[in-house]
Amino acid sequence: MFRSLHIRFTLVKKGYAMSNRIRMIRISRAAAQDWKCFYCERLMWSDGRIPNKEPQLQCTAEHLIPKSEGGGDDQNNIVAACLYCNRIRHRGSKLKSPEVFRVFVKQRLRVGRWYRAQH
């Protein structure tokens, strides 16, 4: 019991635990988007490890304006994006705007140079 409490405290302390508020916004935004990624429009899944689900297509809460740049945890700043798009957008030194990144992803999808789900 103490070990699990310690692990939970460590994860919260390091910022890994998602608040229930953000989780509810993520689910709400995903439902409004028909469970499709904001960027690549692929179908996403949510809530825990589900066997035979593509890990990179897990639904995440994507901050349009990152918290590090003053973005908030409110519904106007969060959309639902697959784990792959979320990670790629935040990789590198210069963050692309959501609009520019969305165009970039769609161009890459058109030529078959984006993440290929293993179905």
* Residue-by-residue pLDDT tens, the chain, 119 positions: 444 444 444 344 445 566 899 999 999 999 999 999 999 999 999 876 566 788 899 999 999 999 999 999 999 999 999 999 999 999 988 999 999 999 999 999 999 999 886 65
In this predicted structure, what is the pLDDT of residue 34? 96
Query: Rounded to two decimals, what is the model's pTM?
Result: 0.80
DSSP string, 3-29: HHHHHHHHHHHTT-SPPHHHHHHHHHH
Q: Which amino acid is at 102?
A: R
Q: Which domains does the chain have, with CATH numbers?
A: 18-110 (1.10.30)
Q: How distant, in Å, are the alpha carbons of 36, 111, 116 from that of 25? A: 15, 33, 27
Give the model confidence (pLDDT) of 92-116 as tens digits.
889 999 999 999 999 999 999 998 8
